[in-house]
Structure 1
Amino acid sequence: MAIIIQLDRLLAERRMSLTELSDRVGVTVANLSILKTGKARAVRFTTLDALCRELDCQPGDLIAHVPGPAGEMIDEEA
């Protein structure tokens, strides 16, 4: 897949844990972990809105497109 979620970077920049973000946005740590690792197949706009609100960012700061073959998974740490 050519879409990556840059949640790790934003959390590090804000010195915030996944647990703290979970408490603030009302999304389970397990679901945020799925999102963070790139295994999520979809993101609700309400979740995206809450993440952007709590991380003080725009959707484009959280989601990036990396050109590549369709359907190919990209590991953001590679």
Structure 2
Amino acid sequence: MGIIINLDVMMAKRKISLSELSERVGITNANLSILKNNKAKAIRFSTLEAICRELQCQPGDILEYSENEE
């Protein structure tokens, strides 16, 4: 996929654990882990908004576009 999710990078910068962010955002550890490991097929804007609010960042800090190299 051409979209790369850099959630793990932002979490490391903010020194927040997966379980802590999961609790603050209101989604399960499993779903947040799927997102963090770049395995998600979609993300709701409400989820993205909550993550950005908690990490005090912009969506562009988390989402990155890369051309497919096939």
Q: What TM-score bracket applies, with the shorter chain setting the length?
A: over 0.9
Aligned residues: 70
Whether 2:38 is the aligned partner of 1:35: answer: no
5 Å-filtered alignment, 1:50-65, equals 50-65=50-65
Q: Tell me, which stretches of 5 or more residues in structure 2 are unaligned?
A: none
Higher helix content, 1 or 2: 2
Structure 1: unaligned runs, 5 residues or longer: 73-78
The residue correspondences of 1:1-78 to structure 2 (distance < 5 A) are 1-69=1-69
- State the shift of 1:46 in Å: 0.5
TM-score, length-scaled by structure 1: 0.85
Q: Deviations over 1:22-55 (max 9, x none)?
A: 0100011100001111111110011000000000
Structure 1 consecutive aligned stretches of length 4 or more whose deviation exceeds 2 Å: none
| DSSP-derived class of the 1:67 partner | coil
Distance in 1 (CA, whole Å) between partners of 2:48 and 2:34 is: 14
Q: Where does residue 75 of structure 1 map in the other structure?
A: none
